[in-house]
């Protein structure tokens, strides 16, 4: 205990010393903590300052960027506007150039047409002067019919046709004024036509593009129909002819061609049931014809050299078709029960193997055609049997006298019978079979076989023997019991 009392002060000092050390450590740690915190505060202040500076810089950059973008956007807008303006100006300039080009082309075309019309007018004036000088001091004779040759682009064919016409025209020149109507501007055809002063020259010019009714159709058929309408209008309405004979530029005529049409012209005036007179027989091949004087009525339009009157033209012209005018004339709706006059032996020959129809049927049907070479005094012939009130009786008598035979083995039977024969066909197929056996045309149009009258197709066989192919109602229509 003494030791402990003695040692008490020492112990107390020691503890006090320990406390002081403990406080010193605490104060030191507090100081370090304060320094650390102050450092953190300084760091935070620096970061805040940096953030503030960064924010200010970012805002500045954004402002500059926005200003730059706005400036470039304005420039782009100005550039786009300038480009649009330039494009519109360019388009306007192109439109103006196109318009001016179209006007130039139109003016050139108009100039070309005027030049052609001037040439036509000069030709007409020249021909008129020639005619006035040639007719001075002579009485004016009413022509029988104007004769027009339809031409286009075949000068060699045209020359052959012209020479054939002039061979027989001299004696009847005043009765049959001659014309050449050219469709288009083929120089060779024009020069060839103007070389022959006996012909009046006409030129049809139409530069309008042709639109066909159906795809794949040949434009030529539309141009031909348009040319026909124009030429006939010129001759009937502008030049005042009462009758016109139409030829094409690939035909030769028979020696009695003009006399034939002069004689039959009276029939057209007397009998309104005759719509036209033709110089052609579709079944006029050498083996099927004999009689040089025989004429017939037909419900089928033959074409290829034909004459019509102004009265008929006044009826047909307003309804004239855009194409296929010949087939249109073969329609019952167009004929209205009227007929055509045709010869047994053709008064013209078609040599045109090359043309719009590409020589269709030429070798089989056109090349073997017989053209009349025997002079016929038509003025002395009584043609009244062809008038409507007489013809059924005349033709019916020929048919009724023919020996009826059946269709099977018809050729052998017809050959063994001395005289005319008639064969009845049941329908179109039956007719085509018979026609093919004999070699005649088997084509029908609107229910009418080629060359037929009241369903009867007549042709010669081997000799002067007539063969009549008759429909089931032909005898009744002809008044035959």
Active site residues: 326
Reference 455, options 471, 441, 444; nearest CA is 471
The CA distance from 379 to 353, in Å, is 34
Reference 449, options 461, 463, 460, 433; nearest CA is 433
Q: How many CA atoms lie within 13 A of 231 on its CB side?
A: 31
User: Do 330 and 340 meet the contact criterion of CB atoms below 8 Å apart?
Assistant: no
User: Do 405 and 423 meet the contact criterion of CB atoms below 8 Å apart?
Assistant: yes
Q: What beta strand segments (E) does 265-370 contain?
A: 274-278, 295-298, 306-309, 339-343, 348-350
Reference 174, options 210, 217, 144, 154; nearest CA is 144
In terms of Cβ atoms closer than 10 Å to its own Cβ (0-12, 13-18, 19+), residue 471 is: buried
Note the helical H segments in 170-256.
187-194, 219-233
Question: CA separation (Å) from 248 to 26, 92, 181, 219, 225?
Answer: 139, 52, 10, 18, 13
In terms of Cβ atoms closer than 10 Å to its own Cβ (0-12, 13-18, 19+), residue 314 is: exposed
């Amino acid at each position: 205990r003494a030791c402990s009392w003695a040692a008490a002060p020492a112990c107390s000092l020691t503890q006090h010393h320990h406390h002081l050390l403990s406080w010193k450590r605490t104060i030191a740690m507090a100081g370090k903590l304060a320094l650390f915190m102050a450092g953190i505060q300084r760091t935070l202040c620096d970061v805040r300052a940096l953030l503030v500076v960064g924010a200010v810089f970012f805002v500045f950059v954004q402002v500059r960027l926005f200003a730059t973008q706005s400036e470039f956007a304005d420039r782009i807008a100005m550039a786009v506007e300038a480009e649009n303006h330039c494009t519109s100006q360019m388009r306007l300039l192109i439109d103006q150039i196109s318009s001016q080009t179209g006007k130039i082309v139109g003016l050139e075309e108009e100039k070309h047409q005027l030049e052609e019309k001037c040439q036509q007018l000069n030709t007409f004036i020249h021909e008129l002067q020639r005619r006035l000088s040639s007719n001075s001091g002579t009485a004016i004779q009413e022509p029988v019919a104007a004769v027009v040759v339809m031409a286009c682009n075949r000068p060699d064919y045209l020359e052959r046709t012209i020479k054939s016409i002039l061979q027989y025209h001299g004696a009847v020149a005043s009765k049959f004024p001659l014309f050449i109507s050219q469709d288009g501007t083929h120089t060779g055809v024009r020069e060839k036509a103007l070389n022959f002063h006996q012909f009046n020259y006409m030129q049809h010019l139409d530069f309008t593009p042709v639109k066909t009714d159906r795809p794949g159709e040949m434009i030529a058929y539309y141009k031909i129909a348009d040319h026909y309408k124009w030429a006939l209008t010129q001759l009937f309405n502008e030049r005042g002819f009462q009758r016109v004979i139409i030829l094409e530029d690939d035909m030769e005529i028979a020696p009695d061609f003009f006399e034939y049409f002069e004689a039959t012209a009276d029939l057209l005036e007397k009998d309104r049931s005759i719509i036209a007179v033709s110089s052609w027989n579709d079944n006029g091949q050498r083996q099927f014809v004999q009689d040089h004087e025989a004429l017939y009525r037909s419900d089928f339009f033959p074409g290829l050299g034909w004459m019509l009157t102004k009265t008929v033209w006044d009826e047909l012209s307003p309804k004239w078709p855009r194409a296929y005018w010949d087939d249109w004339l073969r329609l019952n709706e167009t004929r209205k029960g009227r007929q055509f006059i045709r010869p047994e032996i053709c008064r013209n020959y078609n040599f045109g193997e090359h043309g719009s129809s590409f020589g269709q049927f030429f070798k089989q049907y056109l090349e073997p055609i017989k053209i009349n070479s025997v002079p016929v005094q038509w003025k002395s012939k009584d043609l009244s049997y062809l008038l409507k009130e007489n013809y059924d009786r005349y033709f019916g008598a020929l048919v009724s006298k023919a020996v009826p035979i059946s269709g099977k083995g018809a050729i052998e039977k017809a050959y063994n019978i001395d005289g005319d024969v008639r064969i009845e066909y049941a329908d179109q197929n039956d007719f085509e079979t018979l026609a093919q056996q004999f070699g005649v045309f088997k084509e029908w149009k609107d229910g009418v076989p080629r060359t037929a009258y009241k369903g009867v197709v007549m042709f010669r066989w081997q000799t002067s023997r007539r063969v009549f192919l008759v429909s089931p109602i032909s005898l009744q229509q002809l008044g035959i019991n």
